[in-house]
Amino acid sequence: MSGGERVNARRRAPWTVHAQHVLPWLMLGVAAWPTLTWYARRMIEGVGDDRCGLAALGLAVGFASVDSSGGRVAPTRARAAAVAVVGYAILARVAPPLIAALALVVTVVLLARAQRLAVARRPAWLMTCALALPVIASAQFYLGYPLRTCVSAITAQLLNVAGVDVQVEGTALLLRGTRVLVDEPCSGVKTLWTSALFSCALALRLRLEGRAALRFAGWATLCAGCATIARTVVLTLLESGATPVSEVAHVSVGLAVFAGFAFCLLWLARRPLGRFA
Amino acid sequence: MENAVSDAAVPPVPIADHRQSTATRDGWTVLCGVVLPILALVVELTSNICAEMFFDPLRSTLHVVGYASIAALMTWLVVCDRAAPAVLARQHAAAHVVLGVTLFFAAYFTPMLPISAVAILAIGLGFLSLSPFIVLLTLIGWLRRLHREDPALPIAARVGWCAAGLLAMVFADPLGTWTRVRLHAATTGTPVTRAVAIDQLRRYSSADVVARVFEEGLRPATDPIAYCLTDAEWNGDERLSRVVFQAFGESLPLPRGPRSRFGFDENFDVDGRFASPVLRDGFATHERAVRLQRSAYDTHVDPVAATIVTTWEIEFENPRMWPAEAIGTILLPARAVVGGLTLWVDGQPREAAFGTRSNVSTAYREVTARGRDPALVVSDGPRRVRLSCFPIPPQGRMRMRLHVIGALSPDPTGLADVALPCFEKGDFAVAADGFAPVRHSVVIAGALGVARMSPALRADAEDRLTGALTHADLAARPTVARIAVVEPTRARLWNDDSGVTWSAKAATSAVPGASAFVVVIDASRGMDGRLRAVADALDAIDPRFDVAIVLAGDRPELLTTGGISPALPTRVREATQRLRVVPCVGGRDNAAALTLALDLIGPRDDARIVWVHAPQAMSLEGESQLAIALDLASRAPRVVSIATTAVADSVLRGFREAGLDVDERVDADVGQALASAFVDVETAGAPARLVCARADDAARATGLRVEHAADIWRRLAVYDDVLRLLGTTRADHVEQAQKLAIAARLVTPVTGAVVLETDAQYPRFGLSAPEPASAEISAAPEPETYLMLALAGLALFFVRARRGGGA
């Protein structure tokens, strides 16, 4: 390539780079139309907390737009993205919509990586995109019962250690003649989802990558689990008292515990980044 | 000559003015004759706004083509050069045809004129409904011009073309008209006419056409021909419902297909007033606003204690702007009883009080009159309870939880069915299938392993099944799992509060096994595809039995010769060959076939009626004969009912009202159910009954201690006692039964459960206030997600602000 040609190529670069950046997204949008319409329907129907996924979507888009330091497309990653598109297309035909949507999220992240978007390197962004899907209902369905069982068992152990006589009956706790149910609204799935989103936002804000991000996520999950158990312990003790506990008290305790969790995570985030690196 | 005269009469126009006026006229034609009709057509086809709010102007494809032809003609008139006389003549004729079409639509929309005028003045909308009139004015202008250019078309031809267009629209829905006329004949004619009309409806019409016809009603505007021919107001007529059921096997109003011609299934838009999902198979027979929004089963099966506890959480939603009531009948599993009801009032769970049936019903009636928050559960026949709740708040939800306890009944191999309670009928909507079906969330936990029967469930672990069932799945097979019972033959022992040991054991039926069967087979639409399996089961019947096979068609038909005779293979095969080719259409009168079965049985004590059927939602003529036959029967016949789905059945209701003890089974695989019914009924004359009694020494020596389930067994023992007391005729026994059932908190034929708004209301109705809800409470509900999100957002904002300040 002569010097003149190189100069011309450089002059042409903005147009071709733009095409390389925009066209794949448009084509992915067309290919992913069934999943996108499914997503739109789920958001419109708004079963349970599905619509909260829009907050995660907004967060993901926001961080992507702030960090859009794209460059030329990386060929190897572009091929990986193409393979992911094919994988998504197959999954979209055979798998349930949620699985196909997860595959689409992976495809989106790979495509963003191929376009050298800085944010796509961060696991927290992938997680945020996944949280944008209507996963709370499914998580409630599949994780709800095991979580309830764990929470009730650990709560009972903690209360026993503290000298309160508690027995576990499945997911229910028997104390002072009262049978306290740890049922679906108590499972901790919502707390887990919100905690995950909050920790993702913090991780993206701190630009954590690789192991550091995973370590931070581990701490965040641990904190969220502790928060759920703490809420159950406090509310179980309150409920087994003589006076009934009002709805406002339930909400207040839940929010206070969540605030404690957020404080812990912020404290962890303030530590030197080397702790997570 | 005429042309010359005409040309002479028209004053000359300057060329520039002529071009300008032509452009103005063409522009006006394109706007009013092309754009406006196309817009109206597209809006109506995509949104169905007029069809849903007033009437359907585009009832058939021909109507759509007719309306589209207006725009096509106008385009032709504007675009085409009329220099050639042949083209001019064709345009002239076509314009008259379209005039007829436009007149039809203008007449159709005449009642809309004032509404359109008000709408335009008030909100600037309504032009689309005026489009036929605007098109008519435009077309008249064009006709005058065409007449000037082509005066040769005679007046008779003009009228003829116009009439052709008009009549094409009037006769555009011949199937609808014919269906209306035949429905009228089937409801008002002689028995022979009725039979012929029903047969013709089955052959040439369809349930979808009838649904449309029913929805449109019979008005001069919708179908003038049928209106003139029938001259009857048959909407809401019970006879019409019967005819529709007999013809198509569905009750009115029939569920419709996708409402929008281009796109969404009507189940998608569940919030719309006209888009309530309806359940097929006769459950939700009306388009209902209140709907079952959520349903979750949490079942714990104890293979050692042989007990089953199901907690069923239900949530109704009312999208209307005014309060509504939900009433439904629930089919319980065998040997199960409702032992609790929880209603969420102001977000707090409130337990039900138990009282005599009259007390709880009165309390419910009086409190609902004031629009408070009660829920009521009372018995509605064997294995059935009726759940009522009011008010479901406008655009709000009502959540409740039903506790059902029961005993497992293992078969000789030690395996027991795990069945779930399910709605048999109700006045609320449930989407059985489609885009957004209600899915019953199911969790079944069995300590020592549980095997799934429903393919929709999956094993998360050896002892845990989870899954989501549509209502169609659940109604077709309420038995969703099986479990191996530990030591199935040993009695269960427990101590009561006073230390007395009790035992419970399934008692062998005192009724001798059967050796003769009259098999009554329904040939309704719901049995379609199942008769082959029934025939296979009959082919395998043991030749030692005596058997007769009756087909419940439009008239009962005895398929075997010689009454109840030995089940010789040749004799049975002759009947099953006939059975394999019988078409299953419409809704057949099973009562008439059962009457014939009763006649065949006569005084034989060892004979049973095995009735294989789809649900008969409507009462048909044969039921009165059956009631008489039951009255005249020297002894109550024993009936085994095998239904394809758990939906209310009018014949079964008749049996219950006659006090008949029917062995009810629900299984979509009727062939297998029939085969197992032959085995069961041969070995035992009636289902094994649970007997609870004080344990004697022998029972203590051999029984299995189940103290951990003592509370459940104590209550099941009380239920057994109550049923035994109610089996006697002594009045004091009823009172005793009530006391026992109220103390044990059970819903029985003489007691019920009710939740009232405040504790102070209970004594007014002779009820004791329920135990505080804190006896079983939801401990640690999480705060709402949006609140936590807001908190998280605040924290992030705090971080950003601090970092920004630091920078």
* Interchain proximity B778–A141, CB inside 8 Å: no
Q: With contact defined as beta carbons under 8 Å apart, do B368 and B325 qualify? A: yes
Position with higher pLDDT, B633 vs B533: B533
What average pLDDT does the segment B672-678 reach?
85
What average pLDDT does the segment B129-155 reach?
85
H/E/C letters for each residue in B181-193?
HHHHHHHHCCHHH
**Given a cut of 90, is residue B747 above it in pLDDT?**
yes
pLDDT of residue B91: 86
Smallest CA–CA separation between A116 and chain B, in Å? Answer: 26
**B2/A142 Cα distance (integer angstroms):** 87
How many interchain CB pairs under 8 A, A with B? 127
For every residue of B497-566, DSSP letters joined together read TTS-EEEEEEEPPSSPPPSEEEEEEE-SGGGTTTHHHHHHHHHT--TTSEEEEEEESSSEEE-SSSSSEE
Smallest CA–CA separation between A1 and chain B, in Å? Answer: 47
Q: B443 touching A, CB under 8 A?
A: yes
Q: With contact defined as beta carbons under 8 Å apart, do B674 and B642 qualify? A: yes
With contacts defined as CB-CB under 8 Å, which chain B residues touch A168?
Answer: none
With contacts defined as CB-CB under 8 Å, which chain A residues touch B780?
Answer: 182, 186, 231-232, 234-236, 250, 253-254
**Given a cut of 70, is residue B6 above it in pLDDT?**
no
Smallest CA–CA separation between A92 and chain B, in Å? Answer: 17
Q: B346 touching A, CB under 8 A?
A: yes
Q: With contact defined as beta carbons under 8 Å apart, do B785 and A49 qualify? A: yes
With contacts defined as CB-CB under 8 Å, which chain B residues touch A182?
Answer: 779-780
pLDDT of residue B309: 92
pLDDT of residue B271: 29
Q: pLDDT, tens digit, for every residue of B67-83?
A: 888 888 888 888 776 66
Q: B779 touching A, CB under 8 A?
A: yes
* Interchain proximity B788–A191, CB inside 8 Å: yes
* Interchain proximity B781–A185, CB inside 8 Å: yes
**B556/B520 Cα distance (integer angstroms):** 9
Alpha helices in B124-254, H assignment, sequence order: 131-149, 155-170, 174-188, 191-204, 207-216, 224-230, 238-248
* Interchain proximity B466–A184, CB inside 8 Å: no
* Interchain proximity B779–A262, CB inside 8 Å: no
**B363/B385 Cα distance (integer angstroms):** 18
pLDDT of residue B272: 28
With contacts defined as CB-CB under 8 Å, which chain A residues touch B800?
Answer: 205
Position with higher pLDDT, B88 vs B257: B88
pLDDT of residue B263: 33
* Contacts with A, B 598-657, CB within 8 Å: none
Helices (H) and strands (E) in chain B — how many of each?
A: 27, 29
pLDDT of residue B522: 93
Predicted complex ipTM: 0.81
Q: What is the reported pTM?
A: 0.59
B301: nearest CA partner in chain A: A170
- Which of B149-153, B193-197, B216-220, B502-506 shows the highest mean pLDDT? B193-197
B124 pLDDT tier (thresholds 50, 70, 90): low
* Interchain proximity B783–A185, CB inside 8 Å: no
The percent of residues in chain B predicted with pLDDT above 90, rounded, is: 12
**Given a cut of 60, is residue B254 above it in pLDDT?**
no
pLDDT of residue B474: 86
**B164/A78 Cα distance (integer angstroms):** 64
With contacts defined as CB-CB under 8 Å, which chain A residues touch B778?
Answer: 181, 183, 185-186
pLDDT of residue B270: 29
DSSP class of residue B400 equals E
B312 pLDDT tier (thresholds 50, 70, 90): very high
The structure tokens 């009549």 sit at: B167
**Given a cut of 70, is residue B311 above it in pLDDT?**
yes
**Rounded (5°) CA angle B340-B505-B307:** 35
* Interchain proximity A180–B773, CB inside 8 Å: no
A136 pLDDT tier (thresholds 50, 70, 90): confident
Q: pLDDT, tens digit, for every residue of B446-462?
A: 767 788 888 888 887 77
Q: pLDDT, tens digit, for every residue of B535-558?
A: 999 998 888 888 999 999 888 999
**B261/B736 Cα distance (integer angstroms):** 62
What average pLDDT does the segment B43-52 reach?
75
- The pair of structure tokens assigned to B329 is 């009948």
* Interchain proximity B296–A45, CB inside 8 Å: no
Which residue from B347, B779, B799 is facing A235, i.e. has the nearest CB? B779
Q: B785 touching A, CB under 8 A?
A: yes
Q: Determine which of B34-48, B99-113, B498-512 has the lowest per-residue pLDDT on average.
A: B498-512
B753 pLDDT tier (thresholds 50, 70, 90): very high
Q: pLDDT, tens digit, for every residue of B158-175?
A: 899 999 998 888 888 888
Mean pLDDT score of chain B: 79
**B718/B692 Cα distance (integer angstroms):** 8
Smallest CA–CA separation between B778 and chain A, in Å? Answer: 5
The percent of residues in chain B predicted with pLDDT above 70, rounded, is: 83
B219 pLDDT tier (thresholds 50, 70, 90): low
Q: pLDDT, tens digit, for every residue of B649-668?
A: 888 888 887 877 788 888 88
**A234/B519 Cα distance (integer angstroms):** 63
pLDDT of residue B777: 53
Smallest CA–CA separation between A208 and chain B, in Å? Answer: 16
pLDDT of residue A93: 80
**B553/A135 Cα distance (integer angstroms):** 50
A47 pLDDT tier (thresholds 50, 70, 90): low
* Interchain proximity B784–A251, CB inside 8 Å: yes
Amino acid in position B167 = L
3 state SS of A74: coil
What average pLDDT does the segment B594-617 reach?
86
* Contacts with A, B 382-411, CB within 8 Å: none
**B241/B368 Cα distance (integer angstroms):** 31
Q: With contact defined as beta carbons under 8 Å apart, do B77 and B138 qualify? A: no
**Given a cut of 90, is residue B402 above it in pLDDT?**
yes
* Contacts with A, B 241-270, CB within 8 Å: 268
Q: Determine which of B494-503, B553-562, B607-616 has the lowest per-residue pLDDT on average.
A: B494-503
* Interchain proximity B780–A182, CB inside 8 Å: yes
